């Protein structure tokens, strides 16, 4: 009767219940009529006809209910066809490289696509959002969305241990579920780090370049003025001035080269390198290229490799620059006739890579200039460069990797550097997700250590965290 042919194939559970109710009411009606007929209120003819009508109605309803239930299995075919819609969007979300999360009541993560899992370092279990994303502004926006308020776009940034700028779009979604809390919050994260960095880098570069180039430029223009004025005919002064101008222009050229190299490294700092580099052969290459300089000063370059080869993940040219800078510095600040030791170690945990086991002196200063976040399973290949120079005062250690920082007394003279070498080292090391540390004792010497991650899977972790290989041959 009321049954429409098109709605027959899929009667919902609620429909079927309603039909049963109808059957129940019909039976109840029959019973009431029986009582009325027995008490003589109803004539027999009327009772029989209306009873038959009720019975027919009940039967029809009962049959449609049965038929509806029977029809259900047959209806699965069109349903499967229709379900491909949600299925494909599911797959699309799974493969999307943009982190997307769905947060349920109480801040519980209900769904997260793989991009979100890796972005937040989320395990497989459904955790609470605030344990993986502590940013108060995001959490506020999420709880507003869970109350059904308008979505928001919030920005957050962390400066340490890794600099990152992220924009989070939080949007409420109303789900068709029973219960008091039908709202879910959808979070889409967008990583703004590279554009923010590029922006700041440009400003920094201009500021640095103009600041550092001003000094040599001022002296150049002073000499030019003198040469074109009072000293025009003074041959001796002219030669001397030209010599100084040559030194200044050389310095400017070095500065610009270093600045360019620094900003190139900085630009790519968040892109991890992919190549593989063998550290001990790299050290040998560098030592070969620097040996003429060392020979001039009677400095011995001792490649005490400690019988180690270490293959690390990295860009060969950049690692060359790192080791060259460190050994070059060591040569520059060592007295004539001294020895510089270069060691390569393999298979170290982060903390044992950072510093040697033995201190140079009991009260030597040690500081980590940059280091990767701790991953207990990650192993590192280490290069340590130890000189017997004057050492660096403890209070200068934190500033070593600062741009244009030169320890007092190194600011002038023929040996003066650009103050960018160690800054470049630090940025290259950062890009390689490695670490850079220094230990120094005035009057005894300085040890610089750099370490780079060993590609995972090439080496089995040899020791447990507590048992680190002894560095007997180092002290």
Which positions touch other proteins (CB under 8 A)?
Answer: 106-107, 121, 125, 128-137, 139, 156-161, 350-351, 359, 362-363, 365-368, 373-374, 376, 394-399, 402, 465
CA angle 5, 11, 16 (to 5 degrees): 120
Residue 128 DSSP symbol: B
Measured N-to-C along each axis, helices 235-267 and 421-431 cross at an angle, to the nearest 10 degrees, of: 10
Tokens coding 269: 């700092």
- Would you call the peptide bond into 66 cis, given omega within 30 degrees of 0 as the criterion? no
Nearest to 187 by CA among 208, 172, 203, 166: 172
Tell me how far, at minimum, the Cβ of 358 lies from other proteins, in Å. Answer: 11
Q: Residue 281 or 456: which CB sits closer to other proteins? A: 456
Tokens coding 288: 């070969």
Tell me how far, at minimum, the Cβ of 346 lies from other proteins, in Å. Answer: 21
Tell me how far, at minimum, the Cβ of 130 lies from other proteins, in Å. Answer: 4
- What does DSSP say about strands 365-370 and 435-441: parallel, antiparallel, or unpaired? antiparallel
Residue 108 DSSP symbol: B
Tell me how far, at minimum, the Cβ of 175 lies from other proteins, in Å. Answer: 21
Tell me how far, at minimum, the Cβ of 161 lies from other proteins, in Å. Answer: 4
Q: Quote the strand ranges of 97-221, DSSP E.
A: 100-103, 109-112, 152-158, 164-174, 183-191
**3-state per-residue secondary structure call for 409-454:** CCCCCCCCCCCCHHHHHHHHHHHCCCEEEEEEECCCEEEEEEEEEC
Nearest to 170 by CA among 193, 196, 194, 149: 149
User: How far apart, in whole angstroms, are the C-alpha atoms of residue 449 and residue 259?
Assistant: 23
User: How far apart, in whole angstroms, are the C-alpha atoms of residue 427 and residue 420?
Assistant: 11
Tell me how far, at minimum, the Cβ of 445 lies from other proteins, in Å. Answer: 18
Tell me how far, at minimum, the Cβ of 468 lies from other proteins, in Å. Answer: 13
Q: Residue 155 or 171: which CB sits closer to other proteins? A: 155
Q: Residue 53 or 374: which CB sits closer to other proteins? A: 374
User: How far apart, in whole angstroms, are the C-alpha atoms of residue 304 and residue 341?
Assistant: 6
User: How far apart, in whole angstroms, are the C-alpha atoms of residue 127 and residue 120?
Assistant: 12
Residue 386 DSSP symbol: E
Tokens coding 340: 């510089």
Tell me how far, at minimum, the Cβ of 54 lies from other proteins, in Å. Answer: 50
Q: Residue 129 or 382: which CB sits closer to other proteins? A: 129
Q: Residue 18 or 411: which CB sits closer to other proteins? A: 411
Length of the chain: 475
Distance of CA 208 to CAs 93, 202, 211, 264, 420, Å? 44, 10, 5, 14, 11
User: How far apart, in whole angstroms, are the C-alpha atoms of residue 371 and residue 435?
Assistant: 4
Q: Residue 135 or 449: which CB sits closer to other proteins? A: 135
Tell me how far, at minimum, the Cβ of 131 lies from other proteins, in Å. Answer: 4
Tell me how far, at minimum, the Cβ of 404 lies from other proteins, in Å. Answer: 10
Q: Residue 257 or 373: which CB sits closer to other proteins? A: 373
Q: Residue 87 or 465: which CB sits closer to other proteins? A: 465
Q: Residue 146 or 331: which CB sits closer to other proteins? A: 146
Distance of CA 62 to CAs 5, 52, 195, Å? 16, 15, 68
Q: Residue 156 or 169: which CB sits closer to other proteins? A: 156
Tell me how far, at minimum, the Cβ of 168 lies from other proteins, in Å. Answer: 13
Q: Residue 155 or 278: which CB sits closer to other proteins? A: 155
- 415 neighbors 312 (Cβ within 8 angstroms): no
């Amino acid at each position: 009767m009321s049954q429409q042919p098109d709605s027959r194939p899929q009667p919902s559970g609620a429909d079927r219940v309603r039909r049963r109710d109808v059957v129940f009411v019909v039976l109840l009606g029959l019973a009431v009529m029986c009582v009325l007929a027995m008490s003589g209120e109803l004539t027999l003819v009327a009772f029989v006809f209306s009873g038959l009508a009720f019975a027919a109605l009940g039967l029809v309803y009962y049959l449609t209910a049965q038929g509806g239930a029977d029809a259900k299995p047959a209806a699965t075919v069109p349903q499967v066809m229709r379900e491909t819609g949600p299925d494909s969007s599911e797959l699309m979300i799974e493969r999307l490289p943009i982190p997307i999360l769905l947060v349920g009541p109480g801040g519980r993560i209900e769904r997260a696509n793989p991009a979100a899992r890796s972005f937040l370092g989320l395990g497989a279990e459904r955790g609470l959002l605030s344990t993986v994303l502590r940013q108060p502004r995001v959490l506020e926006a999420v709880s507003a969305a869970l109350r059904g308020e308008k979505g928001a776009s919030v920005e957050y940034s962390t400066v340490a241990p890794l600099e990152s700028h992220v924009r989070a779009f939080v949007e409420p979604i109303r789900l068709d579920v029973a219960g008091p809390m039908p709202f879910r919050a959808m979070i889409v994260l967008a990583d703004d780090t590279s554009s923010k960095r590029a922006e700041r880098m440009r400003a920094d570069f201009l500021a640095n370049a103009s600041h550092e180039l001003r000094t040599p430029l001022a002296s150049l223009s002073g000499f030019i003025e003198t040469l074109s004025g009072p000293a025009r005919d003074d041959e001796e002064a002219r030669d001397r001035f030209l010599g100084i101008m040559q030194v200044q222009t050389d310095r400017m050229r070095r500065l610009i080269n270093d600045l360019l190299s620094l900003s190139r490294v900085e630009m790519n700092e968040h892109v991890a390198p992919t190549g593989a580099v063998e550290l001990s052969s790299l050290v040998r290459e560098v030592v070969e290229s620097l040996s003429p300089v060392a020979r001039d000063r009677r400095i011995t370059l001792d490649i005490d490799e400690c019988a180690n080869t270490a293959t690390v993940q990295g860009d060969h040219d950049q690692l060359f620059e790192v080791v060259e800078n460190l050994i070059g510095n060591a040569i520059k600040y060592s007295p004539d006739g001294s020895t510089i030791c270069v060691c390569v170690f393999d298979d170290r945990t982060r903390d044992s890579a950072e510093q040697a086991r033995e201190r140079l002196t009991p009260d030597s200063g040690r500081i980590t200039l940059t280091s990767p976040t701790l991953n207990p399973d990650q192993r590192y290949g280490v290069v340590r460069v130890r000189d017997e120079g004057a050492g660096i005062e403890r209070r200068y250690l934190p500033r070593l990797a600062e741009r244009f920082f030169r320890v007092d007394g190194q600011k002038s003279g023929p040996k003066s550097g650009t103050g960018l070498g160690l800054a470049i080292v630090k940025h290259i090391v950062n890009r390689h997700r490695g670490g850079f540390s220094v230990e120094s004792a005035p009057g005894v010497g300085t040890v610089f250590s750099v370490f780079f991650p060993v590609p995972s899977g090439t080496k089995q972790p040899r020791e447990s965290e507590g048992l680190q290989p002894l560095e007997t041959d180092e002290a």
